[in-house]
Amino acid sequence: MDENTDSMTPAEELKHMRELYGMKRSEFCEHFGIPLRSLQHWEIGDRKPAPFLVFLIRKVYDLEQENKYLQECIDTLDRQNDELKALIKSQANTQ
């Protein structure tokens, strides 16, 4: 994650996580299977989510970011592989 969340309340951290995703409440709820009313109550602070829930959402975010990075690496390698194949083919055609 991009900043230290240790000093945040569970409500602040959930809102922060939602903002990192760039999602509206409804989108965030759909992504994680959370009832919208629950998230609303958690974010305004009149109810507290279970600590494990915040932990799991944080872990999912971290894994999704890692997967995104790995997919970008795979895409780069695929492009480089295609370029090398094209170069080899063009060199074989000139011989």
Specify burial of residue 34 (Cβ count, 10 A radius: 0-12, 13-18, 19+): middle
Count how many domains the chain has.
Answer: 1
Phi/psi at 24 (5° precision): -75, 165
pLDDT value of residue 11: 87
Residue 23: helix, strand or coil by DSSP? coil
N- to C-terminal Cα distance for the chain? 53
Residue 54 near residue 26 (C-beta atoms within 8 A): no
Q: What is the mean pLDDT of the chain?
A: 92
**Domain assignment of residue 41, yes or no:** yes
> What percentage of the chain exceeds 90 in pLDDT?
78
Would you state the pLDDT for residue 95? 77
Could you report the per-residue pLDDT of 25-35, keeping only the tens digit for each? 999 999 999 99
In a domain, 5, yes or no: no
Distance CA 81, CA 75 (A): 10
Alpha carbon 59 to chain centroid, angstroms: 9
Q: Give the pLDDT of residue 6.
A: 75
Domain holding 34, by residue range, is 10-94
Instruction: Give the domain CATH number at 26.
Output: 1.10.260
Q: Assess if residue 22 is contained within a domain.
A: yes
4 falls within a domain:
no
Whether the pTM exceeds 0.75: the reply is no
